[in-house]
Structures are given as C-alpha cells and as structure tokens.
Amino acid sequence: MSSEHLAELAHDNVEDCVQECPCVSDRQKPAIRRLLALWLSTFFACLDGIVRWLGPIFVVIVWVLISGIVLSWYSILAPYLRVTHSAPFMILQILFAHWLLINIIYHYFKVTTTRPGAPPSLPAEDVQRAVAMGYRYCKKCSLVKPHRCHHCQVCKGCVLNMDHHCPWINNCVGHHNHRHFFLFMAYIWLGCLYVVCVSWTPFWEVRTSAVGFEAVAVHVNDRVQLAFCFVLTAAVLFALGILLFWHVYLVSTGQTTIEFYNNMTLKAEARDRKERWVNPYNFGAARNWRTFLGLVDGRTFARNILLPSAHPPVGDGLTWRTNHHEEASV
C-alpha cells in the first residue's frame, strides 16, 4: 500500500477521532484538525524521504545476499553433493541451480531497471474533456490519471496500474514491471526452498555429529558459512512465501495491492446498500494469469516464463477492458 493511501486513511481516522472526541469543543475542532493534518503530512513526507534514501542501499543488500548464497553453494554445497551423490544426479543439480540463478538475476535486474510506466501529458482541451468524463486529475503531476493509476509519493510521479512502492527494488511496481516483480519473488522463493532442502542434511550432520564438526569436514568446509546459508534461506523462504502467495491471490482475483484495500471499501458500501459488488477487472483466475504473464500472441509458459523473456505486458496501461465489456480510455 502506498504512503499516499496510508496518509489518506490516517487523515480519515483523525477526522473521525476529532469529531467524536467529547473533550474538544466545536470551536477547537477545526484548529486541531489542521494541526494534526500538518503533523501527518510532515510525518509521511519524512517517511517517503527515508524510503527514497534507503532504496539504493536495499538494492545493494539484496545483491550481496544473493551473492553470499551463490558463494555458499559453490564452496560448500556443491562439494558436498559431489561427494555424496552420483555424477548424473550432480549434473541435474548443477543445471537446476543455474536455471534458478539465471532467472533470479534476470528478473531482479529487470524489475529494478524497468520503469513501471506513467500517463502521458495531454493537451488542455483533452484534460478538460477527460475530467468532465470522470477521470481523476493529479495536481502534483498535472496529469490525467487513467483507471488503475495512482500517484507515488516516493517516486514523485503517477504510476500506471500501480501495485505498491517496494524499497527492496528501489522502484514502484506497476504496469511494465509487475510481471518481473512477481517472477523474481517466485524464483527466489524456489531458490530458497532448493537451498534449504540441499543444505539441511549437512547442516544437521554438523549439529548432531557425536564426534564434532571434524567428522563431516570432508563434506562441509565452513560451519559458519553453512549456518548462514541455511538460516538465511529458511527465513526468506518463510517471509517471502507469505508475500508471494499474497500476490498469487491478488493476481488470481484481478486486483493490485492498492485496489484490494479500495475494493474492500466498495464491497462494504455495496453491502450496506444490499447490493453485490463485483471487481470489474476480474475475468476469472485462468484469464487473469494469462493476461498478467503476457501469454498472448503465441507466447508460451515454457518459452516465456520458465526462461527469461523481455516481452511487454498486455495493453498499454492506459486502457482497461472490464468484465462488463466496457472499455475505459482517455
């Protein structure tokens, strides 16, 4: 969720609290509201600045951690597998590990270097027409915001089909890099699962050997490095797994992180009216995934997902077809 939406929620909660507070007179409420609004805007502005400043550092940390795990595989796990398994099995391990590594590096590079997309600048008469048609206008960017577009306070710009701003990639997740973000998470999660499975046996041997570490030193060269490898990948496996399967749910239901929270409000309002609200961008899980992964025009899962692919997303991020067969365009 973007800091802009967090600020909006915080402001709404402040309004409710001030309005319902019995110890504040009606004359004092406007001044208190202004003071709290100023404090909140200052707080979130500082928070956005901190996130913007830490972004490049987080990217370096990710590359360092990936490099550390790769080094551990070459220096500890590969020699262990070579001693304890047959040559054909070792070849399969090498191929599988390097397939994961190539995809991890490729998608992380792409998600950090690909801009998520921004709405175009329109002539004044087109802006007026779009606003009259009900489109939102961003006063900070002086741009008309297409459907599913939101302003990012960290990036200081509007983002097409914005999901959220991620400090770990120092970038917004939006229309043009959302697939790379998801596939990076998926491949890094699979990579962590693989390393945990492979390192479990030597890690347990080191911990439980009756004669100490020296008994398994022929297979494992560095106890600290092995512990680092196992504990780090196990922790990432758990934490990233929660985020990954959260995004599996979002893609399956045709919504972004921001839209999920907005849709909850719309559902509640429709329920109060005794109506049923339907997400207009949900076309069913199968079609949602084909669209999200860009599997159109002859693209296949084997060639364009299991292997690195730079194919563009479906659509331009400006025009969206709904499940009511209505197309909204600027």
**Among the options 158, 166, 172, 229, which is catalytic?**
166
Backbone angles phi, psi at 311, to 5 degrees: -60, 145
In angstroms, the CA 80 to CA 98 distance is 17
Residue 46 a catalytic site member: no
Question: Which residue's structure tokens are 């309004």?
Answer: 15
Which tokens in the block code for residue 44?
Answer: 């979130």
Which class for 68: exposed (0-12), middle (13-18), buried (19 or more C-beta within 10 A)? middle
Q: Which of 192, 284, 184, 200 is nearest to 233 (CA)?
A: 192
Strand partners, 14: none
Which tokens in the block code for residue 305?
Answer: 């997902």
Report CA dihedral (127, 129, 131, 135) to the nearest 10 degrees: -100
Residues annotated as part of the active site: 166
